[in-house]
């Protein structure tokens, strides 16, 4: 029986994964394991090893899909190399050293494949990095390439911003301008005020914090958690802009499909 | 200590292997995945402590050193009677293929095996050096259903005939040698029933690597053990030979059931020469433990038997404790305390334990227990998640850190398919749930 083990850095990835699985029933045909949030990029190796070690059994294949952010200064190949090293550690007992390779058509997806034999286990690892195209369309400059960036890109969609505007009950006379006003607050005014006071403001999480502030998230949703904001954005996208959600997260869906190919 | 088990055609397992076995071994997995079968194989190998010689025709050497089942196990029960009982088989086999010869050997004729095969007809007899001793009696026609092959009198250079080597053993390079014994069993309900093509397919064969415990140090604890009183053969002997048996039982039992503090646990005969425990309070009539409830009865029997074994074992004569379903009848709080007592006991004694369980609580409680233990002892924990696919047994091997990671991630290590903990759903309030109107 083939099982797919999804891993991600944190709770946002877990939530995104769950929403995608709910939204796209095709993914239900994949025998997905519970999503494992490793709790920080430095813990991938340890958590993947602890989780998978038991299931490496000759004549069976396990499949891993990893959603990894790319921090400032990191490059795809180096991070991919670290996952290749991890695979080699997992397969040390059998002296197997499969190579990780970038997907020929998707530069943000890497694949490592080791076929199972009667004497050795099989391992298929798909490593997904955020797609640069998502960030190119953002009107803000961020140091990192993260899942939060995807959320932000989705959150700047006019329909989704309009839903936030409705919830915060702006004056009816200015309602038509609401999405633009919110967008400007989030990507320009709040960052500028913060930055002009000597406080660094350059990460996706900073922008999500501005988003929470501009949309009166605490007042409306009784939460200050970015993860909950992300979930609301994802679910709004699923409900009102499904085609956009699919377009944005196409590389995630590709990665999940690739792992079971 | 047993280190590895290689299996060929035992019950529902066509082929399988368990490797990297340690001191505390949990067997988990779906029904019909081989958990109980493993306990049974170890039990049968462990109770095969009767030295004999296997005599085969047309084989050189024709006499091989072997062991076969003893008349009684540690608890005073006949091994095959117990095994048949567990599987709803008649306790006595009318069609046993064995017979007693004039010289008190057991002659076995396997009609289903072709005549030119060494195991079509073979004998189990007294070893040459003990010819004067009577090894078998008429009762053994019913009792003896297997033999355990040993290296040829300490010499590894005599090769076992090729027709006696299961194909999967050949593939895995399993050899009869010092520290590896092969068990051949011919009783039909215990032999994999399907697709019998070769002569050897009429035998269940398994190889046990490592040192096997002696039969008197092999304890198989299951539903039947919990439900039945002790035999006099076991309890009376323990009562007479272990001076502080009752004190030790009392000490541990009260840790499991603290409400019994101040009471003394005695072991006394019942009618029909069976024995059981009773709780004695100063100035009050004793109450049989069985009258307290099923959980108390289970815990008492486990502790009494384990303590008795613990008194006999030492580094040269280690013990083997096979425990099926520790969760049987146990409330989680009592189960936790019972597991703690058993683990404390096992840690101090050279005893290896195999626990088969369906209970996530047992897995979690043991993992939790090991969490506060030293690394050396942590390394002695293994959990094997078993699965049968096309009757081949696969074993996922969890170390302590793997179990901990799975449980921390709210994943259920018992499952192959679905891994989320069954109780991981939330009763969260509105704070944790995004309502449809919020979207």
Tens digit of each residue's pLDDT (9 = 90 or more) over B253-303: 999 999 999 999 999 998 777 999 999 998 889 999 988 889 999 999 999
- Identify all chain A residues contacting B417, using CB atoms and an 8 Å cutoff: 1, 3, 31
In the predicted structure, residue A97 carries a pLDDT above the cut 60: yes
A2-6, A156-160, B200-204: the lowest-pLDDT one: A2-6
Tell me if chain A has a CB within 8 Å of the CB of B396. Answer: yes
Q: Identify whether the C-beta of residue A116 lies closer than 8 Å to the C-beta of residue A59.
A: yes
Max mean pLDDT range (A180-194, A199-213, B27-41): B27-41
Question: Is the CB of B434 less than 8 angstroms away from the CB of A232?
Answer: yes
**Residue B87 pLDDT level (bands cut at 50, 70, 90):** very high
Q: For A178-191, how does the pLDDT look when each residue is reduced to its tens digit (9 = 90+)?
A: 888 899 999 899 99
Tell me what the pLDDT averaged over chain B comes to.
91
Q: Which residues pair with B183 in a beta bridge?
A: B148, B206
Query: What is the least distance, in Å, from the CA of A66 to any CA of chain B?
Result: 16
Tell me if chain A has a CB within 8 Å of the CB of B397. Answer: yes
Residue from A17, A21, A50 whose CB has the most chain B CBs within 10 Å, to mutate: A50
| Separation CA A153–CA A186 (nearest Å) | 12
Radius of gyration of chain B (CA): 24
Question: Is the CB of B410 less than 8 angstroms away from the CB of A34?
Answer: yes
Tell me if chain A has a CB within 8 Å of the CB of B419. Answer: yes
Tell me if chain A has a CB within 8 Å of the CB of B434. Answer: yes
Q: Which of A50, A57, A231 sits opposite B434 (nearest CB)?
A: A231
Question: Is the CB of A3 less than 8 angstroms away from the CB of B417?
Answer: yes
- Identify all chain B residues contacting A15, using CB atoms and an 8 Å cutoff: none
Tell me if chain A has a CB within 8 Å of the CB of B64. Answer: no
Q: Which two tokens stand for residue B402?
A: 């793997």
Tell me if chain B has a CB within 8 Å of the CB of A9. Answer: no
- Identify all chain A residues contacting B383, using CB atoms and an 8 Å cutoff: 54
Task: Work out the percent of chain A whose per-residue pLDDT is above 90.
Answer: 68
| Domain A3-130+249-260, CATH | 3.40.50
Look at residue B20 in the predicted model and tell me its pLDDT: 96
A16-25, A78-87, B122-131, B342-351: the lowest-pLDDT one: B122-131
Read off the pLDDT of each residue in B78-84 and give the average, rounded to a whole number: 96
Q: Identify whether the C-beta of residue A37 lies closer than 8 Å to the C-beta of residue A9.
A: yes
Look at residue B422 in the predicted model and tell me its pLDDT: 65
Look at residue B300 in the predicted model and tell me its pLDDT: 96
Sign of CA dihedral A69, A75, A79, A80: positive
Question: Is the CB of B394 less than 8 angstroms away from the CB of A60?
Answer: yes
Closest alpha carbon within chain A to B422: A34
Max mean pLDDT range (A171-180, A199-208, B243-252): B243-252
Tell me if chain A has a CB within 8 Å of the CB of B416. Answer: yes
Look at residue A30 in the predicted model and tell me its pLDDT: 75
Query: What is the least distance, in Å, from the CA of A29 to any CA of chain B?
Result: 12
- Identify all chain B residues contacting A51, using CB atoms and an 8 Å cutoff: 402, 405-406, 409, 411
Tell me if chain A has a CB within 8 Å of the CB of B244. Answer: no
**Residue B108 pLDDT level (bands cut at 50, 70, 90):** very high
Query: What is the least distance, in Å, from the CA of A200 to any CA of chain B?
Result: 31
Rounded to two decimals, the ipTM of the complex is: 0.83
- Identify all chain A residues contacting B391, using CB atoms and an 8 Å cutoff: none
| Separation CA B403–CA A216 (nearest Å) | 42
Number of A:B CB contacts under 8 A? 66
Architecture of domain B219-358: 3-Layer(aba) Sandwich (3.40)
Look at residue B154 in the predicted model and tell me its pLDDT: 63
Q: For B139-193, how does the pLDDT look when each residue is reduced to its tens digit (9 = 90+)?
A: 999 999 999 998 876 666 678 889 999 999 988 889 888 889 999 999 999 999 9
Look at residue B425 in the predicted model and tell me its pLDDT: 47
- The residues spanned by each domain of chain A are 3-130+249-260, 134-247
Question: Is the CB of B402 less than 8 angstroms away from the CB of A57?
Answer: no
- The residues spanned by each domain of chain B are 2-212, 219-358
Residue owning tokens 């939790």: B368
In the predicted structure, residue B47 carries a pLDDT above the cut 50: yes
Q: Which of A34, A55, A232 sits opposite B396 (nearest CB)?
A: A55
Query: What is the least distance, in Å, from the CA of A98 to any CA of chain B?
Result: 22
B37-51, B209-223, B270-284: the lowest-pLDDT one: B270-284
**Residue A136 pLDDT level (bands cut at 50, 70, 90):** confident
In the predicted structure, residue B196 carries a pLDDT above the cut 90: no
Query: What is the least distance, in Å, from the CA of B396 to any CA of chain A?
Result: 5
């Amino acid at each position: 029986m083939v099982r797919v083990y999804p891993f991600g850095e944190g709770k946002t990835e877990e939530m995104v994964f769950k929403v995608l699985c709910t939204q796209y029933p095709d993914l239900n045909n994949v025998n997905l394991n519970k999503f494992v949030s490793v709790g920080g990029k430095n813990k991938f190796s340890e958590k993947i090893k602890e989780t998978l070690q038991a299931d490496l059994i000759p004549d069976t294949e396990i499949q891993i899909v990893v959603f990894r952010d790319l921090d400032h200064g990191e490059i795809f190949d180096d991070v991919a190399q670290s996952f290749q090293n991890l695979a080699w550690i997992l397969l040390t007992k059998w002296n197997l050293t499969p190579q990780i390779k970038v997907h020929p058509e998707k530069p943000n997806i890497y694949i490592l494949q080791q076929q199972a034999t009667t004497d050795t286990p099989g391992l298929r690892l798909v490593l997904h990095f955020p797609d640069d195209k998502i960030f190119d369309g953002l009107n803000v400059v961020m140091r990192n390439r993260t899942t939060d960036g995807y959320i932000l890109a989705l959150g700047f969609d006019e329909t989704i911003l309009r839903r936030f505007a409705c919830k915060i009950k702006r004056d009816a006379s200015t309602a038509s301008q609401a999405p633009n006003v919110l967008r400007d607050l989030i990507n320009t005014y709040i960052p500028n005020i913060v930055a002009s006071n000597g406080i660094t403001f350059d990460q996706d999480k900073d922008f999500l914090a501005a988003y929470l502030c501009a949309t009166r998230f605490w007042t409306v949703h009784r939460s200050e958690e970015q993860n909950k904001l992300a979930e609301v954005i994802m679910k709004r996208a699923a409900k009102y802009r499904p085609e956009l959600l699919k377009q944005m997260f196409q590389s995630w869906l590709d990665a999940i499909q690739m792992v079971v190919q | 200590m047993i280190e590895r088990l290689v299996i060929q055609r035992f019950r529902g397992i066509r082929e399988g292997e368990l490797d990297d076995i340690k001191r505390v071994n949990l067997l988990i997995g779906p029904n019909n995945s081989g958990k109980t079968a493993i306990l049974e194989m170890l039990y049968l190998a462990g109770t095969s402590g009767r030295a004999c010689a296997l005599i085969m025709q047309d084989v050189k050497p024709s006499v091989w050193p072997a062991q076969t089942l003893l008349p009684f196990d540690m608890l005073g029960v006949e091994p095959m009677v117990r095994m048949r009982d567990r599987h709803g088989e008649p306790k006595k086999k009318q069609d046993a293929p064995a017979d007693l010869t004039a010289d008190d050997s057991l002659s076995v004729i396997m009609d289903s095996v072709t005549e030119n095969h060494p195991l079509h007809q073979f004998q189990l007899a007294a070893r040459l050096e003990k010819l004067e001793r009577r090894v078998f009696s008429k009762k053994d026609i019913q009792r003896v259903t297997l033999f355990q092959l040993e290296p040829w009198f300490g010499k590894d250079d005599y090769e076992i005939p090729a027709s006696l080597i299961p194909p999967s053993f050949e593939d895995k390079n399993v050899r009869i040698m010092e520290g590896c014994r092969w068990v051949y069993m011919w009783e039909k309900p215990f032999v994999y029933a399907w697709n019998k093509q070769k002569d050897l397919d009429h035998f269940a064969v398994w190889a046990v690597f490592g040192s096997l415990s002696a039969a008197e140090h092999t304890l198989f604890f299951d539903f039947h053990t919990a439900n039945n009183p002790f035999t006099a053969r076991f309890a009376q002997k323990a009562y007479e030979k272990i001076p502080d048996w009752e004190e030790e039982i009392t000490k541990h039992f009260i840790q499991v059931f603290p409400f019994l503090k101040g009471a003394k646990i005695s072991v006394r005969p019942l009618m029909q020469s069976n024995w059981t425990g009773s709780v004695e309070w100063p100035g009050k009539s004793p109450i049989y433990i069985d009258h307290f409830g099923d959980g108390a009865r289970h815990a008492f029997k486990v502790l009494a038997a384990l303590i008795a074994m613990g008194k006999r074992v030492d580094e040269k004569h280690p013990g083997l404790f096979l425990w099926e379903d520790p969760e049987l009848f146990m409330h989680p709080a009592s189960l936790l305390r019972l597991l703690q007592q058993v683990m404390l006991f096992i840690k101090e004694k050279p005893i290896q334990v195999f626990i088969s369980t369906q209970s996530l609580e047992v897995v979690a409680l043991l993992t939790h227990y090991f969490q506060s233990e030293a690394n050396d002892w942590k390394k002695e924990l293994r959990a094997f998640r078993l699965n049968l696919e096309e009757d081949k047994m696969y074993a996922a091997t969890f170390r302590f850190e793997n179990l901990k990671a799975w449980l921390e991630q709210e994943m259920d290590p018992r499952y192959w398919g679905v891994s989320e903990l069954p109780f991981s759903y939330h009763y969260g309030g509105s704070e944790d749930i995004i309502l449809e109107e919020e979207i």
